[in-house]
Structure 1
C-alpha cells in the first residue's frame, strides 16, 4: 500500500503528517512558500508512492492542489462534511495536529476517490466562467444603482433608448446625467458630441434624432436633484462601471467560446438544439471533463440533482433534489433546459417531448419538477453522446431510444 501524507490546511500554512503502514513517520508545520513546499517535496520523495489527503478549503487549499499537479502526485480532495461524519467521535478535541492525524487514519479506513488530472484547458475555462459570472453580477449591481440615481437626476433618460443596457445608451447617460447639462446645447453640437464620445458608429440622421429627443426630454424634465448634487456624480460613476463591465463581459464571452472550441466535447454539446456556444462553454467550464465520471448518476450527484429521500417509521417526506453539488453548473443546466422549452419551435428536441409527456400524464407534474426531470434527461443524453463521440440527432433517438436515453 502507498504511503499516506495528510494535511490540515489553514490560511497560508498547513500541518503535515506522513504515515507508513499505519505508523506516523514524520510530522511538521510548514508555510505555503518556496521553503515550505521544498520541505514537503523532500518528505514526498522519502515516502513510498505517496498519496496526499486534505480537505477542500476554498482558496486556501489551492496551493496544495497546484503542488500535487505540478509534481504529478495523486491526491484526494476531501469533502469537509463527509470527513466530519467519518472521523467524529464522542471526544471533542480539535487542533490542527489532531485533524491531520484524523485525516490520515481515515484514509486507511475509507476508500476516498482520488482527483482526476484534467487538461489545464478545463481549469482555465472554469476560471474564465467564474470571472464572467462575477463581472455579470457586478454589472447588474451597478446597473440597479445607476437606475436608482438616474430617477433622481434625469428620469426621462430611460425613454430615449429601446435597449437601455447598450453601450450607446450608457455613454449618453454618463455624458448627460442631468437635463441642465443638455438644455444649453444646440442640436448640432449635441449630435456631434454623441457621435464623437459614445464610441459607437451611428449615422447623422440617427444621432440627430436622438439629439432632438434628448432636448425635448430635458426641456420638460423636473428632477428631484440639482445639477451640482452628489446624485449626478453617482450616475456618472455607476454608468462608467456598467460600461467597463459590459465591455469586459463581451471580451470574456469571446475568450470562453474560443477556449471551449479547443475541447473535444464542445461540438457535441453545442449540437443539441437550443444549446449555444456560450452555454456549451459554461457547461464544460463548470463540469469539466465528462469522461471522468463512471456513469450519469455520478454526474447528477456532482451537479446536485440526485434525489434525496427521507423515511422514518410512519413519517415519509416528499422526494426532492439534494442540492449538494455544484450550484453554478446546476444553474447553467436549468437555464439551458428552460431555453429549450422556450425555443421549441426552432428544432425538434426529445427533451421538450419528455417535458410535455410529464405535463400530460394522468397526474401532471408541476413545472419545476418536470424541468428538473428534463435536466436529468439532458445530462444522461450528453454523457452518452460524449462517451460515444456522437452528435445529437433527433431521428437517431427515435430509431434507437434505449441507446440515446
Structure 2
C-alpha cells in the first residue's frame, strides 16, 4: 500500500528555563495530521543535540524541511533558537499573544508542557509560515547593545539596593564605620562601571550612522532619553518580530486585562505577561513625561481624572511612550508636538 505523501512537518516546542517539551507533527496530502512523537529534553547543549537527533529520526526526507515553532518567552528560547539556526533548521519564534489567542480559539483549557507543545505544533500546522515568519538572529551589533543595556539595568538595581542599605546603616545605632565605608566604596565602584557601560553604548551606537539617526529622532520626545531608547529597541531586536502596535504592547505586558463574570466586575489591570525589562525601562521616563511633556501630561491627567490611584496614568503614559518609540522608529522621523494640528 502506497503511503500518503507528507506535505508539511512541524515541531512545536514549549520551552522553559531548565527543560523544553517537543511535539513532532506531520500532515499528508489528504490533510491528515499525525503526531510522530512527544518528548521532554534538557535546555542544555547536550539536551539540544539529543533533541535534534530525535527529530532527524522522524523527519521525512521527501517532505519539506520541518519548521521548529516556539514561543518568545523571556530569554529561555534564545539558546535553542540559535542552536537550530546554526544547524540550518527553519525556526519560527511566535509572540505569546498569538499563541494564547490560538489556544483560546480552540477552547484549550488544560495547560501542561505537553499540551502546550501540541498546541504550538497545531498552530504551525494551521498557519502558513512563510519566509517572513522565520526567525533570524539579531546582528552581532544588536546583541552587543542588548548585553550592555541589560548589564546597565542590573547595575542600576545594585546601586539602588546599596543606597537603601547605606541609608539603613546611617540611621542604625552605632553602625561600625568600616562597614559604612565599604558600602560607599561599593556604590562608587558600581557608578564607575555604569559610566563605562554608558560610554561603550554610545560608542557602539555612533558606529552605525543609520541606527544613531533613528535614536536621535526618538530622543525628540520629552521624557525619552538615550539609555531608555536603547534598552527598549535592544529588547525587541529593532521591532523585527512585530507587525502592529497591539503585538508590541502585549509583548511588553502593558496590555489591559479585564476581569468580568456575570454580575462581578473586577478592576482592569495590565497583564504583566511580557518583557519586564521594557516595563522597567519605561517607568521613570513615564513619570518624567507626565510632568514635562505637554501632550502626555494632559493625557496623564485625563486618565487619572476621578481616580485615587495615580499609577493608572503612569502605566498609560508608559504605553504611549512605547508606541511613540515604535512609530518614530518605523517612520524614521522626529517627534512633532502639534502633529495633528499640522
Q: Shared fold (TM-score greater than 0.5)?
A: yes
Q: Which has the larger Rg?
A: 1
1:245 aligns with 2:261: no
| 2:159 alignment partner in structure 1 | 139
> Which of 138, 150, 153 pairs up with 1:119?
138
CA deviations on 1:55-94 (whole Å, 9 max, x unpaired) are: 566565432121134336222357499498769677x9x7
How far did residue 383 of structure 1 move?
3.1
1:224 aligns with 2:174: yes
Whether the 8 Å contact between 1:17 and 1:101 is mirrored in structure 2 is yes
Q: Give the match's secondary structure for 1:289.
A: helix
The 1:318/1:398 distance shift into structure 2, 3 A limit, reads same
CA deviations on 1:193-245 (whole Å, 9 max, x unpaired) are: xxxxxxxxxxxxxxxxxxxxxxxxxxxxxx836xxxxx344334433332221
For the aligned residue pairs, the C-alpha RMSD in angstroms reads 4.1
Whether the 8 Å contact between 1:17 and 1:26 is mirrored in structure 2 is yes
How far did residue 272 of structure 1 move?
1.3
1:68 aligns with 2:84: yes
C-alpha distance in structure 2 between counterparts of 1:232 and 1:151, whole Å: 12
How far did residue 130 of structure 1 move?
2.0
1:330 aligns with 2:279: yes
The 1:108/1:303 distance shift into structure 2, 3 A limit, reads same
Say which structure is richer in strand.
Answer: 2
Q: TM-score, normalised by structure 2?
A: 0.71
Whether the 8 Å contact between 1:129 and 1:286 is mirrored in structure 2 is no
| 1:6 alignment partner in structure 2 | 12
Q: Give the match's secondary structure for 2:180.
A: helix
Say which structure is richer in helix.
Answer: 1
The 1:147/1:240 distance shift into structure 2, 3 A limit, reads same
Whether the 8 Å contact between 1:53 and 1:78 is mirrored in structure 2 is no
C-alpha distance in structure 2 between counterparts of 1:37 and 1:95, whole Å: 20
Alignment of 1:167-246 (within 5 A): 224=174, 231-246=176-191
| 2:314 alignment partner in structure 1 | 371
C-alpha distance in structure 2 between counterparts of 1:123 and 1:147, whole Å: 36
| 2:45 alignment partner in structure 1 | 33
Alignment of 1:340-379 (within 5 A): 340-344=289-293, 349-356=294-301, 367-379=310-322
C-alpha distance in structure 1 between counterparts of 2:151 and 2:313, whole Å: 31
1:305 aligns with 2:270: no
Whether the 8 Å contact between 1:273 and 1:340 is mirrored in structure 2 is yes
Whether the 8 Å contact between 2:11 and 2:68 is mirrored in structure 1 is yes
Give the aligned length. Answer: 315
C-alpha distance in structure 1 between counterparts of 2:35 and 2:315, whole Å: 48
> Which of 64, 68, 71 pairs up with 1:48?
64
| 1:163 alignment partner in structure 2 | none
> Which of 266, 281, 286 pairs up with 1:317?
266
| 2:230 alignment partner in structure 1 | 281
Whether the 8 Å contact between 1:87 and 1:102 is mirrored in structure 2 is no
> Which of 1, 8, 23 pairs up with 2:34?
23
Segments of structure 1 that go 5 or more residues without pairing to the other structure are 153-222, 226-230, 400-405
Q: TM-score, normalised by structure 1?
A: 0.62
How far did residue 131 of structure 1 move?
1.6
The 1:296/1:88 distance shift into structure 2, 3 A limit, reads closer
C-alpha distance in structure 2 between counterparts of 1:288 and 1:305, whole Å: 18
Q: Give the match's secondary structure for 2:136.
A: coil
Whether the 8 Å contact between 1:291 and 1:386 is mirrored in structure 2 is no
Segments of structure 2 that go 5 or more residues without pairing to the other structure are 1-6, 28-32
C-alpha distance in structure 1 between counterparts of 2:240 and 2:72, whole Å: 22
The 1:291/1:136 distance shift into structure 2, 3 A limit, reads same
